[in-house]
Amino acid sequence: MTTFYKIVVFIHIFSAIIGMGPGFILTTVVKSGNNMTELRHSYRLRHKLHIFVMVGGTLLLVTGLIMGFLNPSLFRMGWYVTSLILFLAALAIGPLVLSPRSKPVKALLAAHQGEEIPEEYWRLSRILFRFEDVENIIFIVIISLMILKPF
């Protein structure tokens, strides 16, 4: 059982690197576009990186729960339960908050003609990025809880 648990922890840690690492730069990637061609390319890169975030995030949740079931005392640890609740909240932010705010941005990128980035993009993206920043803060708190195990 100990070896299996260590393998699950190993997968959990790599999942965090694979999933959360790219997640922290998703906003940065699209902020680098200076014209519509670059912006569209940035969003294509962002989409490819987001696949790593989804796979890593799914593995994080699954392996985290497996560790809890293998070591039920984790469910009595405040840092573990808090991390799990925050992670589930962060997962919910995707479809409930980020997706509705990214659809107008994607529609604008698809429909806009010319190379100049329209003002409407800046307004829409500012709102989207603000929520993405909140989600990144949640992930930083989760990582801190996992490392420090303060309570």
Q: What would the pLDDT profile of 56-110 be if each residue is shown by its tens digit?
A: 999 999 999 999 999 999 999 999 999 999 999 999 999 999 999 999 999 999 9
User: pLDDT band for position 2 (50/70/90)?
Assistant: confident
User: pLDDT band for position 144 (50/70/90)?
Assistant: very high
Number of domains in the chain: 1
Which residues neighbour 58 within 8 Å (Cβ) at sequence distance 6 or greater?
19
* Residue ranges making up the domain that contains 120: 2-148
Distance CA 75, CA 82 (A): 10
The answer to whether the predicted template modeling score (pTM) of the entire model surpasses 0.85 is: yes
